[in-house]
A and B are shown apart, each in its own frame.
Chain A
């Protein structure tokens, strides 16, 4: 993973949030407050813009900058959660251009930050339900000798499956938890945006 590729990743996330903002908002309207699409679009557009004039010395610096920008621009719960995840991922990277295994360590630090802040565990119908299986798939692929592109592709698939698997769950964190059993039957918007982030990663690292 190098700086140019990481820039492309953030750009690809921004494009995905633009393309899917109405869908994310509709998912959020069902069990939340109908703003997730607009918020994610605003945040990643701001991050992409911030990177235009930012000349980092490492992938870690770049990801940290993305996180800081997300915290300052998204608001809601998503701002601190995604912002802290990118910041933690950035700070976990010491190598200027990490290999796939080092990048996995960074992604794990991101998930740990989200769980530390939101106290969510798998099954709570949150971001974690897409993020955690994505990392498991990423790690499995690396263990069996796969490269970054294959690992990212499997992670994207696992994140998407994880997001779909939130449909029958009852929300136990965040605003959807107020609905109790009525949150069942709807896909979690946060897990869905996480799946988009992994899909964007797979897209940019696939040669």
Chain B
């Protein structure tokens, strides 16, 4: 394992200290395990809190700031945060009109956020949860834990965060978050496994000429593996999986994210984006907005995920609203 670490145990606290030093408009409370805006929440503004295991940076801490999250709770690497963290975050950022929890559908995140929501209710804070489950690599059936939450989390946090900034109430902010999730579908392909600092070696063995199809964002293996193929073929089968589960109307508009999993250079992500754009154009679908870069990573995993979100004028307008976070910044 070759990584920039002092010790594997201190990776999270060292990285959080680095975030605090780098981003002065964030307040990082190491004891509580909460990253929040340095500025207090405006009275009456609905607050957005998310969180999850670390190792997906910039998700979630990199999306804390004006127009997006009010606070994020980083867990240990690939381990959901504990309820105490979300409770502390909710108490710190509640503006009096309630808190929306944005939760990726993983059993650990779901259970810990559920406990936190109960604790917050005990303290008089109204919480609504938006569950993100956009990953079509997992069949949503009673025989699995349901589709995973992956790339759409960025869309949910951006769009619901924009609506909250405009002063919408708790129910409306939660509703648009759920609407974005419903409109979004993702699929990821890994070229390599990732190495957690604690484990010190790749999470699964992948031969040099094989790729893992349908991976999640925690280094867990995917649905199956196949031989490496040209980008055009990989993207075509990936988009087939996405389009099979999303009702993309002809001539509709979409927001597309081609997301790097941490170890893939941007030049390759643009190769992928080119194929995605060509496929959507051939189906008469307009790419209205796009993101290309590393937004929801899996440590050092090489690979990419594609997220497609059907967007109407309202979603696009909220997407374009000003945002000022370490990882997304525009319209200011």
What residues of chain A have their CB less than 8 Å away from a CB belonging to chain B? 25, 29-35, 38-39, 42, 71-81, 117-118, 172-175, 177-180, 182
A35 touches B196 (CB 8 A): yes
Point out the residue from A39, A72, A172 that lies within 8 Å of B79, measured CB to CB.
A39
What are 28 A-to-B residue pairs whose CB atoms are below 8 Å? Answer: A25-B199, A30-B204, A31-B220, A31-B221, A32-B218, A32-B220, A33-B78, A33-B203, A34-B203, A35-B78, A39-B76, A71-B82, A71-B84, A75-B80, A75-B82, A77-B111, A80-B83, A80-B108, A118-B107, A172-B143, A173-B107, A174-B107, A175-B107, A175-B218, A178-B144, A178-B216, A180-B223, A182-B221
Count A-B contacts at CB 8 Å. 114
Q: Which residues of chain B from 87 to 142 have a CB within 8 Å of any chain A CB?
A: 106-108, 111-112, 114-115, 137-139
Q: How many residues of B contact A (CB 8 A)?
A: 37
CA distance A42 to B12 in the complex (A): 15
Closest 8 CB pairs of A and B: A80-B111, A33-B218, A76-B108, A77-B108, A177-B144, A77-B107, A75-B79, A34-B199
With a cutoff of 8 Å between Cβ atoms, the chain B residues found around residue A117 in the complex are 111
Q: Does B198 contact A (CB under 8 A)?
A: yes
Chain B minimum-CB-distance residue to A25? B199
Q: Does B148 contact A (CB under 8 A)?
A: yes
A20 to chain B, nearest CB (A): 15
Q: Does B72 contact A (CB under 8 A)?
A: no
Point out the residue from B112, B143, B220 that lies within 8 Å of A79, measured CB to CB.
B112
A34 touches B145 (CB 8 A): no
With a cutoff of 8 Å between Cβ atoms, the chain B residues found around residue A179 in the complex are 220-221, 223
Q: Known contacts being A75-B79, A75-B112, A80-B111, is A34 close to B198, with CB within 8 Å?
A: yes
With a cutoff of 8 Å between Cβ atoms, the chain A residues found around residue B67 in the complex are none
A177 to chain B, nearest CB (A): 4
Give the dominant DSSP class at A's interface: helix
A178 touches B115 (CB 8 A): no
B88 to chain A, nearest CB (A): 11
Point out the residue from B144, B198, B218, B223 that lies within 8 Å of A38, measured CB to CB.
B198
B115 touches A80 (CB 8 A): yes
Give the dominant DSSP class at B's interface: loop
With a cutoff of 8 Å between Cβ atoms, the chain B residues found around residue A31 in the complex are 220-221
With a cutoff of 8 Å between Cβ atoms, the chain B residues found around residue A180 in the complex are 139, 144, 223
CA distance A47 to B115 in the complex (A): 19
B145 touches A25 (CB 8 A): no
Q: Does B262 contact A (CB under 8 A)?
A: no
A29 touches B83 (CB 8 A): no
B220 to chain A, nearest CB (A): 5
Chain A minimum-CB-distance residue to B217? A33
A75 touches B115 (CB 8 A): no
Q: Which residues of chain B from 209 to 236 have a CB within 8 Å of any chain A CB?
A: 216, 218-221, 223-224
Chain A minimum-CB-distance residue to B33? A75
A35 touches B144 (CB 8 A): no
CA distance A182 to B222 in the complex (A): 9
With a cutoff of 8 Å between Cβ atoms, the chain A residues found around residue B77 in the complex are 35
Q: A32-B220, A177-B145 are in contact. List 8 more A-B contacts (CB 8 A).
A: A25-B198, A29-B199, A31-B221, A39-B76, A71-B83, A71-B84, A172-B144, A178-B148
A72 to chain B, nearest CB (A): 5
Q: Does B75 contact A (CB under 8 A)?
A: yes
Q: Known contacts being A29-B203, A33-B218, A81-B111, is A76 close to B79, with CB within 8 Å?
A: yes
With a cutoff of 8 Å between Cβ atoms, the chain A residues found around residue B84 in the complex are 71-72
Q: Known contacts being A29-B204, A79-B108, is A71 close to B199, with CB within 8 Å?
A: no
Chain A minimum-CB-distance residue to B144? A177
Residue among B78, B108, B218 facing the most chain A CB atoms (10 A cut-off)? B108
